[in-house]
Amino acid sequence: MSRPPLRYVPLGGLGEVGLNMWALEWEGQVLVVDAGLMFPHEEMLGVDLVLPDPTYLLDPARKVLGIFLTHGHEDHIGGLPFLLRRLKAPVYGTPLTLGLAKPRLRELRVLAEADLREVRIGDRVQLGPFRVETVAVCHSIPDSAALSIETPVGRVFYTSDFKLEQDPLLGRGTDVERFRRLGQEGVLLLLSDSTNAEREGHSGSERDLTPKFERIFQEAPGRIVVATFASNIHRIQQVITLAAAHGRRVAVAGRSLRNAFHTARELGYLQVPEGLTIRLAEANSESRLVLLTAGSQGEPVSALSRFASLRHQAVNVRAGDWVVISARPIPGNERLVFHTINNLYRNGAERVLYSEVGNVHVSGHAHRDELREVIEMIHPRFFIPVHGEYRQLHHHAQLAMATGMPRENVLVIEDGRVVQLTEDSMRVSEGSVSGLVFVDGLGIGDVEQVVLRDRRQLADDGLVVATVGVDRDTGVIRTGPDLIARGFMDPEFSEELLREARAEVVGAVKRFVGTRPDLTLLQESIHDSVSRLLWRHTRRRPMVIPLVTEL
């Protein structure tokens, strides 16, 4: 008798950068891996964060046995507080990963109820039908883990974010020997990071940056500002070590970076000499300063953006500063990063080094040669590329087939497409089980696509409000109509057009005179009449809001 199939459920991270979360399900028992977030695209007006929709996991017919976190980056742990508000399950992670998650859990008031369970690299945890082993991988943050998951159908191996560096400056290297042994034992499904699937060669080592940063610290005549991802502990340690060697004091700007700095220091992942750091309030009086700051993606409210535009409350750019943006822009953030660089130069920075100028960043994600090596080491029966936009998934799939994997055993899918696996088959189910949840201020999930559509319409074409008061018995106009336009066109040019629009409102109301008016029908009539007029004259579609009062 054949076993029931294993279900692989990608809820985020396939088709976009970030938002990483997926699950394995067998006979209603579910293991969740990662709970990430994504920062909004420009068209997501007013949205602060984007989360995977957990509805699939909340079905009473399913039992979530646990949530496994692979490392401490926001695109893998940032959505955890929101998930734990709706789902009670134990959370497993390495010490630094859980340490970085705790401030966010505390901030959103779910830490007290959270069941956090620490695991070490090499540990094995049995959760129902799933046996999960953490395997060391090198990434831009220590304590990163790949996962080997034994299931009733076969082994699933998930690289998470990784590169094949085996002797990093900080933390463990990728355990290539364990990769090979697992491949020899047999892997049913490989899920591998596609972030750099378009980039040839190898990713390079953090050690490659040491001489470049050394030269900067030797040559910079004044202050040095280094912006990097808040959780890039490797890069932060390099800066700390060089600052100590060159007699510079260090200040830290940006809440996320301060949290990561203090957490990593307390847990022993960051070595900081006593007396090296100073308070941010003292930074302006320190001539030989190194300012570590968040905001490498040009986020408008980040510490670096405010520093560059002279809006930071404690420290701002000044003449002679050297600024190092040690990160590559996430796709879609290029304009924000260049805007920040423009402001830095505009307001006095002497030199700005970034991804296009200075080679001051090394990726934490494997390039094509490394991805090929992993496929050949693991030698899986089936392969699904993860982590990336569709083109990156496509290139990774092509790479797998170039190693000799049969085309029918390689699958490119996007979020929500459930895959059913047996020992010798892989099939995609119809439909999709995923979606997006938008966080806007204190609201979680109350902004949906219709709200974003309305915001885009307001941003594109503006607003016209038509107010009119009608007799509740006869439908005759008692007050108005009055029209107000905002963001539509210059009032000087729109006066004649609005006069015609008032006539359209009068005409729409007259159709209902002599009857007790139905307000809904009356509002629809006003809306349609005014919208048609404005489109005919301007080829624009402002949002038309009719406000009808019965008198």
Identify the active-site residue in 53, 175, 193, 415. 193
DSSP one-letter string for 175-202: -HHHHHHHHHH--SEEEEE-TTTTS-S-
Other residues' Cβ atoms within 10 Å of the Cβ of residue 135: 22
Calculated CA dihedral for residues 243, 248, 253, 256, nearest 10 degrees: 20
Residue 115 annotated to the active site? no
Q: Do 6-201+363-447 and 462-550 come out as alike in CATH topology?
A: no
Identify the active-site residue in 73, 365, 367, 396. 365
Tell me what pLDDT residue 324 has. Answer: 95
Q: For 6-201+363-447, which CATH superfamily applies?
A: Ribonuclease Z/Hydroxyacylglutathione hydrolase-like (3.60.15.10)
Tell me what pLDDT residue 370 has. Answer: 97
Is-contact 521 543, C-beta < 8 A? no
Taking Cα atoms as reference points, which of 33, 25, 74 lies closest to residue 51?
A: 74
Residue 415 annotated to the active site? no
Return all residues near 65 (Cβ < 8 A) that are at least 6 apart: 29, 30, 31, 89, 127, 128, 130
Tell me what pLDDT residue 444 has. Answer: 47
Instruction: Give the separation between CA 20 and CA 37, rounded to whole angstroms.
Output: 7
Instruction: Give the separation between CA 412 and CA 395, rounded to whole angstroms.
Output: 10
Per-residue tokens: 183: 């491949």
Q: Which fold has domain 462-550?
A: Ubiquitin-like (UB roll) (3.10.20)
Is-contact 196 367, C-beta < 8 A? yes
Burial class of residue 520 in the structure, from the number of CB atoms within 10 Å of its CB (0-12 exposed, 13-18 middle, 19+ buried): exposed
Tell me what pLDDT residue 333 has. Answer: 78
Tens of pLDDT, residue by residue, the chain (551 residues): 578 999 999 999 999 888 999 999 999 999 999 999 876 555 544 456 778 888 899 999 999 999 999 999 999 999 999 899 999 999 999 999 999 999 989 988 999 999 999 999 999 999 999 999 999 999 989 999 999 999 999 999 999 999 999 888 778 899 999 999 999 999 999 999 999 999 999 998 888 888 999 999 999 999 999 999 888 888 999 999 999 999 999 999 988 899 999 999 999 999 999 999 999 989 988 889 999 999 898 887 889 999 999 999 899 999 999 999 998 887 777 888 999 999 999 999 999 998 777 788 888 999 999 999 999 999 999 999 999 999 999 999 999 999 999 999 999 999 999 999 999 999 998 878 877 666 544 444 443 444 444 445 455 567 778 888 877 767 677 787 888 777 666 555 567 677 778 888 887 777 777 666 677 777 787 888 778 887 887 777 777 778 777 77
Is-contact 298 337, C-beta < 8 A? yes
Domain segments of the chain as ranges? 6-201+363-447, 206-353, 462-550
The arrangement of secondary structure in 206-353, i.e. its CATH architecture, is 3-Layer(aba) Sandwich (3.40)
